[in-house]
């Protein structure tokens, strides 16, 4: 891979982590390039409705509106946003290279990897076959297609409660299928779902098959207590069982944790490769909130600022791979 201009920093990802990193990096005159994705720009919050827990918005804000504001704020300070995908990374040398879907290669002295996470699949046969034909991972995208239909949401966390509550705007009935008899969701989200008359909980149940030829017609459930199976007739199923970090671009290039997230050094954003930093859901197996991702993006931008300043003091950034490693080590207490 070979590019033309070596930038100071490229940020891959345009969720709260990516855009917050861009705001800080742009304000530090690092002229960041944000590779925002061709179809998923704005990240997971683009698939959300009300965001009620992002500080500064007492009345709540729609997920897409929040992301638009973050992008505007980054661009106001000079961040360049590119609607393209990073398809291959070369992290070996002092200069990091990002190959884009267009075929172009962008280069920078530092990289912030903030690719977020993707919805987890149940992993059963009917799921892939009927995906887009009644199986969905996004209530805000597909809820409209289920007017006056009977549907189910699988999961017991905040996402499942949020999706189930939202889907009652369209569906005549929403089953929530959870593998235990206790929800993981926050109390406020639980209460909202419990109060909704269109929602019925199916406890201690796992989906073991999704029925239907061209469209979903029902689910096969297995009772997790006594092992018995049963069928539930319905028209659609929304899977909301959590997310997995998007690490396919860095497999074999960056160290990962046992949870599958990108490994970072302590509370910093430094990855196992000098000059490569990571932020947001892709490093976080635990909290995964918009506001924690934004904070993590801040950490990454500040780490990059220190890294580039140290490179600048040492000489030309693109001619001293060994020094970069030494500098990253020396910088460990920053
Ligand atoms: P989560 O909290 O990890 O919950 C996943 C749920 O799916 C759990 O109830 C889990 O069951 C269940 N599950 C996992 N794998 C399963 C499988 N293979 N089959 C059946 N069920 C399975 O994920 P999330 O709900 O997506 O939330 C992720 C993070 O985002 C959380 O920190 C959450 O607070 C946050 N979030 C916040 C909001 C909000 O505040 N508005 C909205 C959405 C998400 P067990 O409980 O048995 O493990």
Q: Measure 74 CA to ligand 1 centroid, in angstroms.
A: 30
Of 73, 25, 3, 53, the closest CA to residue 318 belongs to 3
Domain co-membership, 69 together with 218: no
Q: Measure 24 CA to ligand 1 centroid, in angstroms.
A: 30
Please determine, for residue 2, whether its predicted confidence score (pLDDT) is greater than 70. Answer: no
Q: Measure 15 CA to ligand 1 centroid, in angstroms.
A: 19
Mean pLDDT of 309-332: 52
Of the residues 179, 210, 239, the one at which a domain ends: 239
212-268: per-residue pLDDT in tens?
999 999 999 999 999 999 999 999 999 999 999 999 999 999 999 999 999 999 999
pLDDT at 332: 32
- Active-site positions? 138, 141-142
Domain co-membership, 54 together with 200: no
pLDDT at 4: 61
Of the residues 216, 239, 262, the one at which a domain ends: 239
Domain co-membership, 150 together with 83: no
Domain co-membership, 147 together with 207: yes
Q: Measure 197 CA to ligand 1 centroid, in angstroms.
A: 22
Residue at 328 is within a domain: no
Q: Measure 5 CA to ligand 1 centroid, in angstroms.
A: 42
Residue at 2 is within a domain: no
Residue nearest to atom 33 of ligand 1 (CA): 158
pLDDT at 121: 94
Mean pLDDT of the chain: 92
Residue nearest to atom 23 of ligand 1 (CA): 242
Please determine, for residue 329, whether its predicted confidence score (pLDDT) is greater than 60. Answer: no
Best residue among 17, 122, 157, 245 to mutate for probing ligand 1's pocket (most ligand atoms within 8 Å of CB) is: 157
Of the residues 239, 255, 284, the one at which a domain ends: 239
Residue at 333 is within a domain: no
Residue nearest to atom 7 of ligand 1 (CA): 241
pLDDT at 286: 87
Please determine, for residue 319, whether its predicted confidence score (pLDDT) is greater than 60. Answer: no
Mean pLDDT of 30-50: 91
Domain co-membership, 265 together with 298: yes
Domain co-membership, 114 together with 247: yes
pLDDT at 169: 97
Mean pLDDT of 72-91: 98
In order of 14, 74, 108, 245, the CA distances from 112 in angstroms are: 11, 15, 10, 15
Best residue among 124, 127, 158, 188 to mutate for probing ligand 1's pocket (most ligand atoms within 8 Å of CB) is: 158
118-139: per-residue pLDDT in tens?
999 999 989 999 998 999 998 9
In the chain, what percentage of residues exceed pLDDT 90? 84
Residue at 332 is within a domain: no
Domain co-membership, 225 together with 274: no
Residue at 318 is within a domain: no
Helix (H) or strand (E) holding 126: helix 125-129
Give the contacts of 326 (CB within 8 A, at least 6 positions apart).
Answer: none
- Point out the least confidently predicted range of 147-151, 201-205, 207-211, 314-318: 314-318
In order of 107, 158, 224, 276, 324, the CA distances from 329 in angstroms are: 23, 39, 50, 13, 9
Write the CATH number for 89.
3.50.50.60
Number of domains in the chain: 2
Domain co-membership, 11 together with 50: yes
Please determine, for residue 325, whether its predicted confidence score (pLDDT) is greater than 90. Answer: no
What would the two tokens of residue 179 be? 């593998």
pLDDT class of 314 with cuts at 50, 70, 90: confident
Q: Which atom, in ligand 1's list, is nearest to the CA of 240?
A: 26
Rounded distance between C-alpha atoms, residue 218 and residue 173, angstroms: 14
Which domain does 100 fall in, by range?
Answer: 7-118+243-311
Domain co-membership, 104 together with 165: no
Domain co-membership, 224 together with 300: no
CA angle (53, 168, 166) in 5-degree steps: 25
Domain co-membership, 108 together with 148: no
Find the residues whose C-beta lies inside 6 A of ligand 1. 53, 122, 154-160, 162, 179-180, 184, 206, 240-243, 287-289
Domain co-membership, 30 together with 113: yes
pLDDT at 21: 98
277-298: per-residue pLDDT in tens?
999 999 998 888 999 999 999 9
Residue at 331 is within a domain: no
pLDDT at 241: 97
Q: Which atom, in ligand 1's list, is nearest to the CA of 286?
A: 32
Residue at 13 is within a domain: yes
Residue at 334 is within a domain: no
pLDDT class of 52 with cuts at 50, 70, 90: confident
Top pLDDT among 4 and 52 is at: 52
């Amino acid at each position: 891979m070979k590019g033309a201009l070596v930038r100071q920093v490229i940020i891959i990802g345009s969720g709260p982590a990516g855009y917050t990193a861009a705001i800080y990096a742009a304000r530090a005159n690092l002229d960041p390039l944000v590779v925002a994705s061709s179809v998923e720009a704005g990240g997971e919050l683009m698939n959300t409705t009300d965001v009620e827990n992002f500080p500064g918005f007492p009345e709540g804000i729609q997920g897409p509106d929040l992301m638009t504001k973050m992008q505007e704020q980054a661009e106001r300070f000079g961040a360049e946003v590119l609607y393209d995908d990073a398809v291959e990374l070369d992290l070996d040398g002092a200069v990091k290279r990002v190959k884009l879907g267009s075929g172009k290669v962008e280069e920078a002295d530092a990289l912030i990897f903030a690719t977020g996470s993707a919805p987890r699949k149940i992993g059963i046969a009917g799921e892939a076959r009927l995906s887009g034909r009644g199986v969905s991972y996004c209530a805000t995208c597909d809820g409209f297609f289920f007017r006056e239909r009977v549907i189910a949401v699988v999961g017991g966390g905040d996402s499942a409660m949020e999706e189930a509550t939202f889907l009652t705007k369209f569906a005549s009935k929403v089953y929530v299928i959870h593998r235990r008899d206790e929800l993981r969701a926050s109390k406020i989200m639980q209460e909202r779902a419990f109060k909704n008359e269109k929602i019925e909980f199916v406890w201690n149940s796992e989906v073991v098959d999704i029925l239907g030829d061209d469209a979903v017609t029902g689910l096969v459930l297995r009772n997790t207590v006594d092992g018995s199976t049963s069928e539930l007739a319905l028209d659609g199923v929304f899977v909301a069982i959590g997310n997995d970090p998007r690490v396919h671009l860095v497999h074999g290039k960056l160290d990962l944790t046992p949870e599958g997230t990108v490994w970072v050094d302590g509370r910093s954003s430094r990855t196992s490769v000098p000059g490569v930093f990571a932020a947001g859901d892709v490093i976080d197996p635990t909290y995964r909130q918009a506001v924690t991702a934004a904070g993590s993006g801040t950490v990454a931008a500040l780490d990059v600022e220190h890294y580039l300043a140290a490179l600048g003091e040492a000489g030309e950034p693109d001619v001293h791979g060994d020094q970069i490693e030494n500098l990253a080590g020396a910088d460990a207490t920053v």
